[in-house]
Amino acid sequence: MALDAVMVRALVSELQDKLINGRIDKIHQPEKDEITINIRALTDTFKLVLSASSAHPRVHFTNYAKKNPTNAPMFCMLLRKHIGGGKITSVEQTDFERIIKFSIESYDELGDLTTKYLIAEIMGRHSNIILCNQDMKILDCIKHIDFTVSSVRQLLPGLTYTAPPAQSKTDLCDITDTVFIDFSQPTQTADKAILSSVAGISPLVAREIVYRAFGRTDIACCALTDSGRNKILYETARLAKRVRAGDFSPCMLVDKSSDRLMDFCAVEIKQYETLARVIPFESVSDLIDSFFSTRDMHERMRQKSADLVKLLTTNIERISKKLVILQKTLSDSEKKDKFKMYGDLLMANLYSLTQGQEFAEVVNYYEDASPSVRIALDPKLTPSQNAQRYYKKYSKAKTAEVEAAKQIKTAESDLEYLESTLASIENAETDSDLNAIRAELVSEGYLKRKTNLKRQKQPQSQPMHFVTSDGFDVYVGKNNTQNDYLTLKFANSSDLWFHTKNIHGSHAVIKLGVDKDVPKTSVYEAAQIAAYYSKGRGSSQVPVDFTRVKNVHKPNGAKPGMVIYDNYNTVYVTPKEPEKDGKNAE
């Protein structure tokens, strides 16, 4: 992730605005490498997260609460002792590194006012959270680093805190009009050369510098002319000027094809062009919090839904193979009329045939020119038995055609249902959403019902609710059962119904109430919502059909969520994630 020194600079600026003179209220340690600090500022309260996770170190405000252990760990107890109730007097970025230092005034056991320093080092697997006294002696740290871990720098209680070794690079903030970047390595790409010479930027930012200079990122050093090198130097200096001025544009990158979170940055990113959605944020802290909470939610949902995804994909593969076999059976049954014709021709020429023949050459009076046709025979059978053999083939093919057509219709319906359910799982955001899908699969016979002696009542999953810019309520089903409820029970006949055309997705409904005239903007926004909660989320120009609910019908015996509709219009939209509202369908 791009939590580089540029991102830290933007984050520190935000922390300074909100935390200076704030009082530390509560300290918790929900994870072995993460602490949360509740801070009371002049007009507000904040929950600050400091994580030294090797995979995802970070510092940011959060609104999410994790479960804390019953007994606080030793490091948490030490923090409570030394900085509990303390006042934050400054928040700084050490040099231009990924290090944030909080200066905290608090009273010691003797009642003397002292200054402690809480230092968050955001450096991948070397990340740490360190508490120092006013002489920069380490009181403790969340990870102890001794000689067995690092021979260069130890972090242990009692030692004097020293900053990480400086890199032999030029800090981005020190760059003015010129900077030396070594482009002499012919096999090296330009972005790698920038990373080797400029400190404080991530690979993402280095590629963005190259993109701003050339409109592409895959430029080799050997291909650079003097003009090209000057372009890179100019873009690097321009970025440095923005960072020094505190001109940040935090944004999150989302893969359009898979809706997967890709990265985030303190400046706008253009290098992915149409491959990624760029979501702007006003707050750097909100960006980091949203990124990690969303990704954690997706990861948690992915783990909890793994068994459902496996069940559905297994059934989808099985039905797909079955459809191939049925289609072949249906194709083979097209020969049935030829079998009947052969039986008729053999019966008409019994007088000229004898047992033991391997084929019969007879006149085909079914065709105008009466050509001769060769019919294969079984030498062990009599001519009459051979004719009966072809009649049986005809009868068997005719029966197979009818049965195959029926089974194909059923299999296609099952496949449609399973794929739509799989799409619902991808949109699930809570445990209750997954539980509703499980209950639906149990009722449809795809899952066995678990018999629990003590059943805990699960909170019922409710359809999502949004409001258009014109004030119209839009409701969206989270699964097939909710889709049926919205369309067939909750919605009135005059309400507007939306669904992606030939793409699996949720049903969406605009509740009209007294006002029956829906502005085009609301129709377009509802279509964008329907497209977002569908398999077409990562595409552009997604076709969405909409019609009055009275034109939507559920065939007898159809599976949950399966409907047919007529008298509809189609609008093409680019999916857009809507802002959620707390209101649910009742």
3-state class of 298 per DSSP?
helix
Answer whether 377's CB lies under 8 Å from 358's CB.
yes
According to DSSP, the β-strands at 23-31 and 569-573 are: unpaired
Residue 205 to residue 192: CA distance in whole angstroms: 11
Enumerate the H helices of 54-151 as residue ranges: 74-83
Question: 286: burial class by Cβ within 10 Å (0-12, 13-18, 19+)?
Answer: middle
Nearest to 249 by CA among 202, 199, 212, 284: 284
The length of the chain in residues reads: 586
3-state class of 51 per DSSP?
strand
Residue type at position 255: D
3-state class of 205 per DSSP?
helix
What are the φ/ψ torsions at residue 7 (nearest 5 degrees)?
-65, -40
Question: What is the CB neighbour count within 10 angstroms for residue 335?
Answer: 12
Answer whether 529's CB lies under 8 Å from 467's CB.
no
3-state class of 260 per DSSP?
coil
3-state class of 266 per DSSP?
coil
Cα 553 from chain centre: 32
Instruction: Give the pLDDT confidence score for residue 460 in this predicted structure.
Output: 61
Distances (CA, A) of 123 to 4, 5, 54, 351, 380: 9, 10, 8, 96, 85
Answer whether 159's CB lies under 8 Å from 138's CB.
yes
Instruction: Give the pLDDT confidence score for residue 453 in this predicted structure.
Output: 42
Residue type at position 147: F
Q: Which helix (H) or strand (E) holds 332?
A: helix 306-332
Apex CA 469: angle with CA 466 and CA 475, to 5°? 20
- Can you say whether the dihedral through the CA atoms of 53, 59, 62, 65 is positive or negative? positive
According to DSSP, the β-strands at 198-199 and 170-171 are: parallel
- In the beta sheet, which residues pair with residue 229? none
Instruction: Kindly tell me the number of DSSP H helices and DSSP E strands found in the chain.
Output: 12, 24
Nearest to 142 by CA among 128, 154, 153, 155: 128
Q: What is the pLDDT along the chain (586 residues), one digit of tens a residue?
A: 568 999 999 999 999 999 999 999 999 999 899 999 999 988 899 999 999 988 889 999 998 888 888 899 999 999 999 999 999 999 999 989 999 999 999 988 888 899 999 999 999 889 999 999 999 999 999 999 999 888 889 999 999 999 998 888 889 988 887 778 888 888 899 999 999 999 999 999 999 999 999 999 999 999 899 999 999 999 999 999 999 999 999 999 988 877 788 999 999 999 999 889 899 999 999 999 999 888 877 777 788 888 899 999 999 999 999 999 999 888 888 888 888 898 899 998 898 888 989 989 888 888 888 888 999 999 999 999 999 999 999 999 889 889 998 999 889 888 989 988 988 887 787 778 888 888 888 888 888 876 554 455 555 667 899 999 989 999 999 999 999 999 999 999 999 999 999 999 999 999 987 667 889 999 999 999 999 999 888 788 899 999 999 999 999 888 889 999 999 999 999 988 887 655 555 5
Residue type at position 415: L
Residue 356 to residue 464: CA distance in whole angstroms: 75
Instruction: For residue 316, give every residue at least 6 positions away whose Cβ sits within 8 Å of its Cβ, in sequence order, or none.
Output: 415, 418, 419, 422
Question: What is the CB neighbour count within 10 angstroms for residue 386?
Answer: 25
Question: Could you tell me the two tokens for 25?
Answer: 């209220």
Answer whether 155's CB lies under 8 Å from 87's CB.
no
Query: Tokens 């990124």 — which residue?
Result: 291
What's the 3-state SS for 348-386? HCHHHCCCCCCEEEEECCCCCCCCEEEEECCCCCCHHHH
Question: Could you tell me the two tokens for 183?
Answer: 């482009």
Residue 232 to residue 223: CA distance in whole angstroms: 13
Answer whether 406's CB lies under 8 Å from 433's CB.
no
Residue 294 to residue 309: CA distance in whole angstroms: 20
Nearest to 476 by CA among 513, 542, 529, 436: 529
Q: Which helix (H) or strand (E) holds 60?
A: strand 58-61
Answer whether 530's CB lies under 8 Å from 506's CB.
yes
Query: Tokens 């109730």 — which residue?
Result: 85
Nearest to 174 by CA among 197, 208, 203, 202: 197
Residue 290 to residue 308: CA distance in whole angstroms: 26
Answer whether 551's CB lies under 8 Å from 493's CB.
no
Instruction: Give the pLDDT confidence score for residue 583 in this predicted structure.
Output: 55
Answer whether 212's CB lies under 8 Å from 235's CB.
yes
Question: Could you tell me the two tokens for 399?
Answer: 């029966």
